[in-house]
Amino acid sequence: MSLLNSNKPEVKISYDSMEAFLTLPIPEGDAEYSTRDLVDALEMKGVKAGIDQEMLLKMVKEKVYNQERRVAVGKKPVEGHDGSYEFLFNRNFNRKPKQLPDGSVDYHIINLIATVEKDTLVAIYHPCEQGKNGYTVKGGPLNAKRCKELKPLRGKGFYRGANENEYYAEMSGKIEFTQDRLMISPVYEISGDVGVNTGNIDFIGDVTIHGNVRNGMSIKATGTVTIDGIVENVSIDAGKDIVLKSGLMGNNRAVIKTKGSLFAKFIEYASLNVIGNINAEVLLECDVVCGERIIISGKSGRVVGGFVRAVAGFEANSIGNDMEVRTEIAVGVDGDIHRRLKVLEHKIEVAKKQLSVIDEKIAEIERENTPKTVMDKPSADPRKMSMLRTKIHENTVIQESKLEQDELTALIDKADGACVKVVGTVYPGVFICIDGFGHEVKDEHYAVTFKKVGDNIRMERDADALI
């Protein structure tokens, strides 16, 4: 006998429509449930998918009454993954020297480039894998995220393998992945010393020298220059960083220039022009211009003699010595920068006013030359041509002035808050200059920081003291 219409099963659906539950009331008299009755009850509530037929059959056969049972389960979507590249070369470089137990600093662990041999596998592409869609117990679709393939690698110095998902080095050299481009370029590597036998070096790319660099030699590179041995009185000009793992003895003739940063064990009697940061253990009688920060750390961590300038700030273990050798440290920007900025602002303002006058004169000339009839042809007025040439000149003045103005403004922003920090001792004979304001150190001090406050230089220690 079938289920009586007045005594129907109770169906509940979870809030997320991923589960459905069924409770069978005790049927009246001799009535019995059939699996068809249960399915009909579920369908009346909108349950169409994920139905557990075995559970329905069990409830009917075992007469499971007044007990809630889960009878339908939806299917969650299985997410796939986008295509991705696996790079088989080092991309995490160590830019900091290692502090040794004796307090000295080991610059040999600094590594700023990765190299690769020709025909080496350098990258593998893992294609995307689409996910699988799911559904609710009501039959509603649950779509997995649509995964995307990546474009083939761009760059130079590599080729694709037979299956096109593998990338190999076309040459031996430096490898890097930057700005979404894989680049393999030559590295000029010298296993021994650089001297008269090798000649000067002028190379488009990176230069690595595993020996020393002898007196009078010149090294020029568009990339990074790394030298393991001692550097003597030489000229080095790099487009990126310079790493002198053993140090430099310049004999007052060495000239170092770089658009990147400089890392060195020690530097003596040299002229340095560094756009980035300088990190070394010793600076001795050097003439230094640094566009960022200078940090002199390690067991010695000292600066003795010379004129050292750093826009963003300076830190050292000690400055000067007990012989009171003249040592000048300058940070920030001086008044000339601010004065130049005002000159540029005035120059731009004057040029803009001149452009306004020129536009008015051009408009006046055009009104004078307006054709009286459609048959008249406008003639080229030499006055207008002269005005247009002047307008081009004034626009050029504005563009060039704004470019310099932006550079100076960035420099001033970088110098904001620049100070001179001495972890150890600062000796008499040291001259501190911040934003053009100077102070002569006349007494020995320990663990102090020099800052500019108004028009004064303040020396801060355990308790602030105004110099």
Query: How do residues 203-213 score in pLDDT, each as one tens digit?
Result: 888 999 999 99
Q: What percent of the chain has pLDDT over 90?
A: 65
- pLDDT at residue 467 greater than cutoff 80: no
- pLDDT at residue 2 greater than cutoff 50: no
> Of 298 and 103, which is predicted with more confidence?
298
Average pLDDT, the chain: 89
Question: Could you tell me the CA-to-CA distances from 338 to 312, 343, 412 in Å, in that order?
Answer: 16, 9, 8
pLDDT at 163: 87
- pLDDT at residue 381 greater than cutoff 90: no
Residue-wise pLDDT tens digits, 329-363: 999 988 788 888 889 999 999 999 999 999 998 88
pLDDT at 151: 93
- pLDDT at residue 144 greater than cutoff 80: yes
Kindly report the number of other CB atoms within 10 A of residue 106's CB atom: 14
pLDDT range class, residue 426, cuts 50, 70, 90: very high
Mean pLDDT of 99-120: 76
- pLDDT at residue 44 greater than cutoff 60: yes
- Could you give the angle at the alpha carbon of 35 between the alpha carbons of 31 and 36, nearest 5°? 90
DSSP notation for 376-432: ------HHHHHHHHHHHHHHHHHHHHHHHHHHHHHHHHHHTT--EEEEEEE-TTEEE
pLDDT at 379: 61
Mean pLDDT of 153-173: 92
Question: Could you tell me the CA-to-CA distances from 20 to 16, 24, 74, 135 in Å, in that order?
Answer: 10, 13, 9, 13
Mean pLDDT of 115-128: 93
- d(Cα 300, Cα 283) in Å, to the nearest integer? 10
Which DSSP state fits 75? B
> Of 197 and 74, which is predicted with more confidence?
74
Residue-wise pLDDT tens digits, 247-287: 999 999 999 999 999 999 999 999 999 999 999 999 999 99
Tokens of 307: 């004129």
pLDDT range class, residue 109, cuts 50, 70, 90: low
Contact 75, 19 (CB under 8 A): no
Q: Give the pTM.
A: 0.65
pLDDT at 4: 43
Helix residue ranges, H only, 144-197: none
- pLDDT at residue 462 greater than cutoff 60: no
- pLDDT at residue 398 greater than cutoff 70: yes
Mean pLDDT of 220-234: 94
pLDDT range class, residue 409, cuts 50, 70, 90: confident
- d(Cα 272, Cα 23) in Å, to the nearest integer? 86
Q: What percent of the chain has pLDDT over 70?
A: 93
CB neighbour class for 136 (10 Å; exposed up to 12, middle 13-18, buried from 19) = buried
Contact 207, 188 (CB under 8 A): yes
pLDDT at 111: 66
Residue-wise pLDDT tens digits, 305-328: 999 999 999 999 999 999 999 999
Contacts by residues 433-441 (CB-CB < 8 Å, ≥ 24 positions apart): 433/328, 433/329, 433/330, 433/331, 433/334, 434/330, 434/331, 434/332, 435/331, 435/332, 435/333, 435/334, 435/335, 436/332, 436/333, 436/334, 436/335, 436/336, 439/467, 441/320
- Could you give the angle at the alpha carbon of 40 between the alpha carbons of 39 and 45, nearest 5°? 100
- Could you give the angle at the alpha carbon of 432 between the alpha carbons of 427 and 433, nearest 5°? 175
CB neighbour class for 91 (10 Å; exposed up to 12, middle 13-18, buried from 19) = exposed
SS percent in the chain: helix, strand, coil, step 5: 20, 40, 40
